[in-house]
Amino acid sequence: YGEERSARRVAAAIVDARADKRIETTDGLAAIVESVIPRHSGRHPATKVFQGLRIAVNDELGELEAGLKMAVNCLKPGGRLAVISFHSLEDRLVKRFMRDHSAHELDRPEWPAPRPNPNWHFERKLPKSVAPGAAETKANPRSRSARLRVAVRRDKSNAHD
């Protein structure tokens, strides 16, 4: 989940370290990761590893998906669904959800004609995600990876008109 390219090397280093002694602190785990992935930028090499662990332990992607599905039934027509994601995996999930639930019709190459989309619940209000501007990232560096996507719940009574 952390999208770490050296994940296999990190996992092997963790297994090797655990053979010697128990890893009892986050600093200990971070040191193991840093021994495998040298520091190149200002970000600590263990950042993605800890992010991946957090996402897995908290089932963050599953919770996000469940929340998006619940929004379909919770929002009244005209209600806005605004989602801010901070990770590419989250953003990809939100992007696909909004795409799949805002398409009037479904079309596949093997179908003779497009079909009505039974999951057409939203109208997208923005063609793409909105990223923070330079002023925002300067004032709030943690916002640098944020992406905002917005859709409006449509009235099902005018389906496929």
Residues 6+ apart with CB under 8 A from 121: 72, 101, 102, 153, 154, 156
Q: What is the pLDDT of residues 85-133, one digit of tens each?
A: 998 899 999 999 999 999 889 888 999 999 998 989 999 988 889 999 9
- Please tell me whether residue 160 adopts helix, strand or coil conformation: coil
pLDDT of residue 65: 96
pLDDT at 157 over 80: no
pLDDT of residue 119: 87
φ and ψ at residue 54, rounded to 5 degrees: -60, -45
Q: What is the pLDDT of residues 61-76, one digit of tens each?
A: 999 999 999 999 999 9
- In the chain, the amino acid numbered 143 is S
Q: Cβ atoms within 10 A of the Cβ of 85, count?
A: 19
pLDDT of residue 158: 53
pLDDT of residue 81: 95
pLDDT at 161 over 50: no
Question: Hey, what domains does the chain have and what are their CATH numbers?
Answer: 7-57 (no CATH), 60-158 (3.40.50.150)
Q: What is the pLDDT of residues 129-153, one digit of tens each?
A: 999 999 999 999 989 999 999 999 9
Lowest-pLDDT choice from 23-32, 33-42, 66-75, 115-124: 33-42
